[in-house]
């Protein structure tokens, strides 16, 4: 049986998780919503986040808004204000950085922090730091956060989920087994339903376990047994469950991607070929903006269309040269578009996935001067990126994206603008706004 870590904190890893983050941001910027059933996702037609009051009444993620209204007639449904959520997210990171610069911005509503070695500079214990960070997050941002502290990322994430909402759970090395004994293995970060079923089957046959297998039962298996039955990711999870430190924090801005994807839903659905192509063209431009921001090139991509009946059709295309210019991808897509698009069919979304990404520009000179042409295009795109950085995204865009850029993605009830976009400060434009999440209390 592996020996669990006996140290209090061989490493001190903190995980911060915003409770119902998007809905909580809406309540924080408008306290009049406190205690009410709040749901975001009006523009999508399904719930993307909901307050705990709405959860208690049976609302779940991706539930149709029409069903929610039947369930809770007084529900408050709002369009998602990602600009504001991002600002709150940056404030969350900034508060944690008061205690350590070693921050992994894991997602918009959660982060990891390495507090190891910060007791002396901060003049407090790791436990005190965790308590202070949670208190400052709750008080300064006007919402609650669940915080977990342990010896690695897997256990810290388990700790933050232990007591939600607004929980603070500390799992020192010598108490790991007490928590794992109560934690179902399917609740471990990185172990999905299929893997947990496989673990259940193996341990049931090998050890005679009946009922739900716990994380402790999996962690107690010898490393040799785990290596025999599981791939490397699950061997690493096993080591972290035993108090090892396998997953380092990813510090700084992420610039390595296995793929980059952009998908956009629009309403009402459309059978207009050029409008659907424009939506796809805009997605391609957005994906290539991110590609260039991280100095990446793509050699393979896939595009798809989604119908009103949620059926998908798409193609994968391999490029002869690595590129980051949207014109090249759009040209290839237009050549194949008729193979995917069906006249008269209503489409509700388009998407692009860029793959085989590399930081190296591996283009080679060719007899027809194609590389020189691409280099000229790159120079133009650098100028476009500079203009967009100064005046806002899509200030300059390709003609193929015209119908998408110059029309609302959602019309009718779903097209309602967020308060932040509808009430601009003097000097602001739709594309340029200062970093304020709200303008004060707004009457409803």
Active-site residues: which are they?
A: 110
Going through 44-203 in order, the beta strands assigned E by DSSP cover 49-50, 76-78, 103-107, 110-114, 145-150, 168-170
Nearest in space to 172 (alpha carbons), one of 1, 13, 15: 13
Q: How distant is the alpha carbon of residue 340 from its chain centre?
A: 28
Nearest in space to 260 (alpha carbons), one of 194, 166, 326, 199: 326
For the chain, the straight-line distance linking the first and the last C-alpha, in angstroms and rounded, comes to 60
Nearest in space to 219 (alpha carbons), one of 5, 11, 7, 10: 5
Tokens at 306, concatenated: 């989604």
| Pairing assessment for the beta strands 347-355 and 312-323 based on DSSP bridges | unpaired
Three-state SS annotation for 201-229: HHHHHHHCCCCCCEHHHHHCCCHHHHHHH
Q: d(Cα 300, Cα 318) in Å, to the nearest integer?
A: 4
Q: d(Cα 169, Cα 183) in Å, to the nearest integer?
A: 14
Angle, alpha carbons 396-400-401 (nearest 5°): 55
Angle, alpha carbons 363-369-280 (nearest 5°): 65
Q: How distant is the alpha carbon of residue 417 from its chain centre?
A: 22
Neighbour-count burial for 299-327, b at 16+ CB within 10 Å, e otherwise:
bebebbbbbeeeeeebeeeeeeebbbbbb
- Going from the C-alpha of 296 to that of each of 141, 300, 314, 356, the distances in angstroms are 35, 12, 24, 10
Q: d(Cα 333, Cα 408) in Å, to the nearest integer?
A: 23
Asked if 145 contacts 25 with a C-beta cutoff of 8 angstroms, the reply is no
Asked if 315 contacts 305 with a C-beta cutoff of 8 angstroms, the reply is no
Rounded to the nearest 10°, the torsion over CA 50, 84, 100, 155 is 20
Q: d(Cα 332, Cα 335) in Å, to the nearest integer?
A: 5
């Amino acid at each position: 049986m592996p020996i669990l870590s006996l140290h209090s904190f061989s490493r001190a890893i903190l995980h911060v998780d915003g409770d119902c983050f998007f809905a909580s941001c809406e309540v924080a910027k408008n306290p009049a919503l406190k205690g009410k059933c709040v749901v975001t996702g009006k523009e999508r037609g399904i719930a993307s986040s909901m307050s705990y009051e709405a959860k208690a009444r049976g609302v779940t993620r991706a539930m149709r808004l029409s069903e929610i209204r039947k369930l809770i007639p007084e529900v408050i449904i709002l369009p998602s204000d990602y600009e504001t959520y991002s600002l709150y997210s940056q404030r969350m990171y900034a508060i944690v950085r008061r205690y350590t610069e070693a921050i992994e911005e894991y997602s918009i509503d959660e982060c990891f922090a390495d507090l190891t070695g910060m007791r002396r500079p901060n003049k407090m214990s790791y436990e005190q730091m965790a308590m202070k960070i949670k208190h400052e997050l709750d008080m300064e941002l006007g919402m609650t956060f669940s915080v977990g502290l342990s010896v690695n990322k897997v256990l810290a994430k388990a700790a933050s989920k232990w007591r939600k909402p607004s929980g603070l759970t500390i799992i020192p090395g010598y108490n790991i087994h007490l928590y794992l004994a109560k934690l179902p293995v399917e609740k471990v970060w990185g172990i999905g339903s299929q893997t947990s079923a496989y673990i259940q089957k193996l341990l049931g046959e090998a050890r005679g376990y009946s009922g739900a297998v716990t994380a402790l039962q999996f962690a107690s298996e010898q490393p040799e047994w785990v290596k025999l039955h599981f791939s490397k990711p699950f061997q690493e999870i096993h080591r972290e469950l035993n108090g090892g430190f396998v997953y380092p924090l990813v510090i700084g801005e992420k610039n390595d991607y296995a793929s980059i994807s952009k998908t956009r839903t629009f309403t009402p659905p459309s059978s207009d070929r050029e409008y659907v192509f424009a939506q796809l063209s805009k997605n391609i431009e957005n994906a290539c903006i991110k590609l260039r921001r991280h100095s990446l090139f793509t050699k393979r991509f896939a595009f798809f269309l989604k119908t009103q009946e949620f059926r998908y059709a798409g193609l994968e295309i391999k490029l002869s040269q690595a590129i980051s210019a949207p014109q090249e991808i759009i040209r290839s897509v237009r050549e194949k578009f008729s193979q995917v698009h069906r006249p008269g069919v209503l489409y509700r979304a388009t998407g692009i996935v860029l793959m085989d990404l590399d930081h190296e520009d591996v283009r080679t000179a060719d007899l027809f001067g194609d590389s020189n042409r691409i280099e000229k295009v790159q120079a133009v795109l650098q100028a476009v990126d500079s203009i967009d950085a100064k005046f806002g995204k899509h200030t300059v865009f390709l003609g193929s994206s015209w119908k998408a850029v110059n029309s609302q993605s959602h019309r009718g009830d779903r097209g309602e603008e967020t308060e932040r976009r509808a009430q601009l400060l003097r000097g602001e434009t739709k594309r340029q706004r200062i970093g304020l999440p709200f303008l004060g209390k707004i009457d409803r």
